[in-house]
Amino acid sequence: MFQRQILIFALTATISMACLPAFAEKETAQKGVSADATVLASPEITYKALRSMRDEDPSGCRVLSSSENESVVEEVFDGLPVIGKAVCVYRETYEPQKRISFKMIRSDKLKAFEGEWTLQAVDNGTHTQVRLQSYIDSGIKVPFAKQITEMANSGEIKQQVADLKKSAEHKQKQVAAKNSNASI
């Protein structure tokens, strides 16, 4: 079993090394990786869509406690490179229509999990510039562990930003249709 994991890791590291120059250009000055998008929806609708994403796909995630300004969440991450599955408890802090920050409280395997979503009104408040910044430290002490973790994390956060964009823009269209029907 262990030999199989080493083989999989070696293959992943070899493939990853071929992709590192392109990936390095996307790293930010901050810890970790980030992804951005302009969402064709207001900050209010975008923020509501972001907050509702967990409710729409609750698999592997549960809220342990919640208040107006923060939540404590337990999430199970499956299929992580090298380590497989990890359970992570983290705190989300909310600044409505502007920011959602998250920071790990504890994990069975991860050494760090933190980041934030930022939302900024653009085009006179009709659209929202969204950025998701995320840092994960798997704690694994093997060659290229940081690069492999960041590559996997980069793909995941790009998908999350794309999902938010799709959801918020759909909600914006629903609001616009409702408002146009109300004025008829």
Number of domains in the chain: 1
Q: Which domain holds residue 134?
A: 2-182
Query: SS in 3 state form for the chain?
Result: CHHHHHHHHHHHHHHHHHHHHHHHCCECCCCCEEEEEEECCCHHHHHHHHHHHHHHCCCCEEEEEECCCEEEEEEEEEEECCCEEEEEEEEEEEECCCEEEEEEEEECCCCEEEEEEEEEEECCCCEEEEEEEEEEECCCCCCCHHHHHHHHHHHHHHHHHHHHHHHHHHHHHHHHHHHHHHCC
Confidence (pLDDT) at 182: 66
pTM of the model: 0.77
Looking at residue 20, which CATH number applies to its domain?
Answer: 3.30.530.20
Tens digit of each residue's pLDDT (9 = 90 or more) over 34-87: 999 999 999 999 999 999 987 777 677 899 999 999 999 999 988 776 788 899
pLDDT at 164 over 50: yes
